[in-house]
Every structure is written in C-alpha cells, then in structure tokens.
Homo-oligomer: A and B are copies of this chain.
Amino acid sequence: MSGRQLAGPRRRRPIQRRAQQTIDAILDGTVKVLKRAGGGGITTNRIAAAAGVSVGSLYQYFPDKRAIFAALHDRHVEQASRRIEAALVAHADAPLDGLVRALMEALMEAHASDPELYALLDRELPQGGAAARMLHERLRGALRLALAARPAKPGRDLEATLFVVAHMLDALAHGAILNRPPHLSLRAAREEALMAVTHYLQT
C-alpha cells in the first residue's frame, strides 16, 4: 500500500488524487457525524465541518445530500463485493461447501469491520435498504455463477435455490453480526448457519 505507489507513476494526475482524498474525507466526515449525531442530525454543513472542507467544496463533489449517502452506500457495497468476488475466485474449482463458507465469512467480515456504522447506514439513512438490495444482487450473481459451474441435482429449480441460498446467507450473516442473541457466540452462529445452508444445498 505504500512502497508500490512511490515506485510507480509518480505524481500522476495529482488533481484526481486530491479529489479522491476530498471525497473520502467527506464520506468519513459523514460517518463521523452519523455516529455523533445520529441520522436526524446529519446536515451538509456538519458533514463539511467534520470533513475539514467547506460546504462549497462538498457541493463541488456531490450534487446534493442524497448523493453523499449513495456514495457511502456504494463504498460499502464495493468493499463487500470485492470480498464476495475474492471468495468466488478462490473457490472456483473447489467443492461447494468451501465456497459457501467463504461467502458467509466474506459477508460477515463486511459488516463486522464496523457493525455500528452499517447498522446506522441501514437504519438511520433513508434509502438504506437500497445498498442492502444491491449487495444482495451481487451475492445472487456470485451464487449463480457458482451453482451454474457445478453439476446441478436433477429436478432442481436454479432460481428457487438461488433465492433461498442468497437470502439465507444474507440474513444469517447480517443477523449474526447485528442481531445475535446473547449466549450465542459469533462462531456458533456461523457454524449453525453454515450447517443450515449446506444441508439445504445437499438435499
């Protein structure tokens, strides 16, 4: 992350690099405000202040407030998607069980990195569900590839299987991080969830 960049194309397009830094600062500022003041306390001026830029600059990079939230959602979706695809690639030719476990772990890690933030993103921001739906689509796409590449059990409806597996992975990973009952460890939750998915797929 550091030595490489100095060795490569030095100071190439510094403008765009600065722009990306400002964008990131704004998104991080949004997160800061979100955690500090909750969803009702988010204002563009506060975001700008927390990001260390002026409101004017904020509007240079985002057409309006919603766009900031959308970008924040996107950043999360992007991160999670990368994990999903990495799992997909790593287990391309391996048994399905391993892939399912890897996907479950990818989803959990995506939220576990900052559970508070993702809970807020979902609950406090309008359109919070959109990110979840988009991520769900990516997961479904990954699963479609994975299942299509393997011998299907006869008489099985791919769409139905996809529907069930994608929802199970999504809900169980999400729930394991954000909605786990007391007395149930994350590890136990994950193993039980994996068992459920695996058994279903083996049926």
A52 within 8 A of B: no
A196 contacts across to B, CB distance below 8 A: 164, 168, 196, 200
Query: Do the beta carbons of A184 and B160 come within 8 Å of each other?
Result: yes
A126 within 8 A of B: yes
**Docked-complex contact B188 and A195, CB < 8 angstroms:** no
Q: How many residues of A contact B (CB 8 A)?
A: 42
Within 8 A of B (CB), among A169-185: 170-172, 175-176, 179-181, 183-184
Chain A, 190-203, contact with B by CB distance < 8 Å: what is the 0/1 string?
00110110011001
Contact of A164 among B123, B193, B203 (CB under 8 A): B193
Residues of B within 8 A of A171 (CB): 167-168, 170-172
> A159 vs B188: C-alpha distance in the bound complex, in angstroms?
10
Residues of B within 8 A of A161 (CB): 192
A residues sitting closer than 8 Å to B (CB atoms) are 39-40, 119, 122-124, 126-130, 133, 136, 140, 157, 159-164, 167-168, 170-172, 175-176, 179-181, 183-184, 188-189, 192-193, 195-196, 199-200, 203
